[in-house]
Amino acid sequence: MIFEGKSLSVTLTDDSIAELVFDAQGSVNKFDRQTVEELDKATQAIASTDGVKGVLVRSAKSTFIVGADITEFTPLFEMAPEDILEWVAKTSQVFDRFEDLPVPSVVAVNGFALGGGCEMALAGDIRVVDTTAKIGLPEVKLGLMPGFGGTVRLPRLIGADNALEWMTTGRDRNGEKALKEGAVDAVVAPEKLHEAARTMLKSAIDGKLDWQNRRAQKKAPLMLNTNESMMSFSTAAAMVAAQAGKHYPAPHKMVETVSKAAGLDRDGALKLENEGFVALAKTDACKAQVGIFLADQLVKSKGKKVAKGATKEVKQHAVLGAGIMGGGIAYQGAVKGIPTVMKDINQAALDLGLKEASGILAKGMQRGKVDAKKMASTLNNIIPTLDQNAIADADLVIEAVVENPKIKAAVLADTEKTVADDAIICSNTSTISINQLAESLNKPERFCGMHFFNPVHKMPLVEIIRGEQTSDATISAVVAATLKMGKTPIVVNDCPGFLVNRVLFPYFAGFSQLLIDGADFTAVDKVMEKVFGWPMGPAFLLDVVGMDTADHASGVMSDGIPERMQKIDNDPVTLLYKAGRLGQKNGKGFYDFSLDKRGRPAKKASPEAYALFEGHVAASKDFDKEEIIARVMIPMANEAIRCLEEGIVASAAEADMALLFGLGFPPFRGGIFRYIETMGLANFVALADKYASLGPIYQISDGVREMAAAGKSYFSQSA
């Protein structure tokens, strides 16, 4: 044994090959500080051992190295820039020292080699991967760039164009694609990986593979002339500007860094990489995106933990109410192999539901993501019916009829009479109280809310709403079923609008009041899309939701939380609804919807909408972007805080993921609580107080005022 640590070890074989094996104490290998330190000690031990002819790096686990330990980033990135720079420079030098060993090295990759794992592979002279391998540099998804030599070595191996495409998108490659691009040297079957790596290493030791030249290439300047350099980097910059936009600094910094480092050797290029890494580590976007990653991990782990408690296996679904929403829910189960009865009282609705499922599959086929076999098996898993008795064997029934409490109650009561005593019954309601609906059932303990978002196949979130009498067993089974459907479950407690819609409607109310005060809805949409980063501004979103749906839901919210959500006099949404302007569903709302010359959807601000508002709103007035953002976002933030304080949602992290997955909250802002904390709680309190005279939705709770005064964080409470 040359070296033995907690995360890795080095042994010398009979033929003088040093095998460096990553085998951390946890379930996966990752680069935490301990592992980096052990890699450096192992490298030094190899360098000082007589007789070593070559180094073979591999993993003892089912995957190579998943990347750096993200949990260490949060405290690390709070340090001063010069301290972060010292850390990343010292760490990257560990990889340099490994690369500089006086003997050839081969890295054998199985499973994931991402981020730091990929950079470890790049530090070797030769890379052999098996057919399970996924290799890539996904740091951009955390608002970062590679920090352990990735921006230096990869461009010198596969060219700047390919390397920047890898890094700015963060997409990984399988072995064959990585081989084709020149990032790896061989792809073999998993059972042959170790043997193949040894064979290639022996070829390098014997001088049959020119490992010195390979290494020299990674340490030299990029081989680009002036014209090639200008074309390559200007094209990359244009692509990043078009795809990432201005809100995500990481891909821009990568292009800039690789461009500036093109004429430098490894040490000079690494210095620029280290500096770029530090600059990104201190951005709000990085803080937000790292926060999203950690919140996502928390939500996934909670979901798996709850699902483990399930005592009932769900083998068959039933969806009550077809149409677009019901068809989408039926598709989601069917595509995952779950037989799903889709029941309605109207054949036309069943036809529409099947059309929705078929349409989703057809688009998948056009994009090459669905084959004919998958399409056939999915559609065969959907059993359309008008017969109530067809749902008798369902383990999980999802009611998705019209958003009317009396109709839903009647459907739920009939369902309970039809299904087995241990069947679970759910309501896909967006606002109606689960406790109220539970009154129609004899066994309310097997009932909960299961709120899908439209379009179902695209939106990752399902809100699982626990009623007062819902059992833990029911929640566990529904969470497990949601995960099986490929969705992200977040459990919340019952209240008007639950979590997502409860925080959305104060946002809409703030928007409506802005219009009443003279704002132009197109100007508000432009600010909220281009400046704040929402995929749709509030007017466009209301058109997508539908004015009838929005007006109905605002009535439910008003009845449920009258102290803050009373209906607004002269609400533009209500004016549009009463005028029959329902939004996208009938082609007219705030905007008029049509198709352009190429047949693509198009919208333009409607003169009829402006005419409708005249006499009900103040004279046209310009508002600066900061005021527009404050007046729509403060109400949303306030209501999210109240949901956390009231225990509707268990943690700030879960609230952030719910809004990210359910509403498309801008990822570079990290979620509603990350947005508040990035602003600073004291600054948020001051801003809300500035607008407090506008009404209760702008008035903060005592809890947030106390937290701001005490310097506390909502994320220290996340669990």
pLDDT tens-digit series, residues 135-145: 999 999 999 99
For 206-220, how does the pLDDT look when each residue is reduced to its tens digit (9 = 90+)? 999 999 999 999 999
Instruction: Name the token pair of 472.
Output: 């833990």
What does pLDDT average to over the chain?
A: 95
The backbone torsions φ and ψ at residue 340, rounded to the nearest 5 degrees and listed phi first, read -135, 120
For 282-299, how does the pLDDT look when each residue is reduced to its tens digit (9 = 90+)? 999 999 999 999 999 999
Mean pLDDT along residues 456-480 = 97
**Secondary structure letter of residue 529 according to DSSP:** I
Cβ count within 10 A of residue 685: 18
Task: Return the pLDDT at 224.
Answer: 80
For 569-588, how does the pLDDT look when each residue is reduced to its tens digit (9 = 90+)? 889 999 999 999 999 999 99
479, 449 in Cβ contact below 8 A?
Answer: no
420, 392 in Cβ contact below 8 A?
Answer: yes
CA distance 325 to 406: 19
CA dihedral (118, 124, 126, 132) in degrees, to 10, reads -30
CA distance 199 to 629: 62
For 142-164, how does the pLDDT look when each residue is reduced to its tens digit (9 = 90+)? 999 999 999 999 999 999 999 99
Q: Is the pLDDT of residue 417 over 90?
A: yes
Task: Return the pLDDT at 627.
Answer: 98
Task: Return the pLDDT at 600.
Answer: 87
Q: Is the pLDDT of residue 37 over 90?
A: yes
Task: Return the pLDDT at 675.
Answer: 97
For 59-97, how does the pLDDT look when each residue is reduced to its tens digit (9 = 90+)? 999 999 999 999 888 889 999 999 999 999 999 999 999
Q: Is the pLDDT of residue 610 over 70?
A: yes
Q: What is the band of 718 on the pLDDT scale with cuts at 50, 70, 90? A: very low
Q: What is the band of 244 on the pLDDT scale with cuts at 50, 70, 90? A: confident
Name the active-site residue from 451, 457, 552, 616: 451
Q: What is the band of 596 on the pLDDT scale with cuts at 50, 70, 90? A: confident
Q: Is the pLDDT of residue 226 over 80?
A: no
Q: Which residues of 148-173 are buried (b: 16+ CB within 10 A; e: fewer)?
A: bbbbbbbbbbbbbbbbbebbbbbebb
Based on the residue annotation, tell me whether 552 is a catalytic residue of this protein: no
515, 523 in Cβ contact below 8 A?
Answer: no
**Secondary structure letter of residue 699 according to DSSP:** P
Task: Return the pLDDT at 341.
Answer: 97
For 179-189, how does the pLDDT look when each residue is reduced to its tens digit (9 = 90+)? 999 999 999 99
678, 615 in Cβ contact below 8 A?
Answer: no
End-to-end CA distance of the chain: 42
From residue 719, give the alpha-carbon distance in Å to each of 16, 281, 383, 641. 49, 25, 41, 16
CA distance 635 to 629: 11
Task: Return the pLDDT at 719.
Answer: 45
| Residue whose pair of structure tokens reads 């939500």 in the numeric block | 299
CA distance 542 to 663: 12
Task: Return the pLDDT at 717.
Answer: 58
Q: Is the pLDDT of residue 269 over 70?
A: yes
Q: Is the pLDDT of residue 201 over 70?
A: yes
Q: Which residues of 645-682 are buried (b: 16+ CB within 10 A; e: fewer)?
A: eeebbbbbbbbbbbbbbbbbbbbbbbbbbbbbbbbebe
Percentage of the chain surpassing pLDDT 90? 91
From residue 681, give the alpha-carbon distance in Å to each of 149, 609, 685, 689, 698. 37, 38, 6, 12, 15
Instruction: Name the token pair of 337.
Output: 């192999």
pTM of the entire structure? 0.91
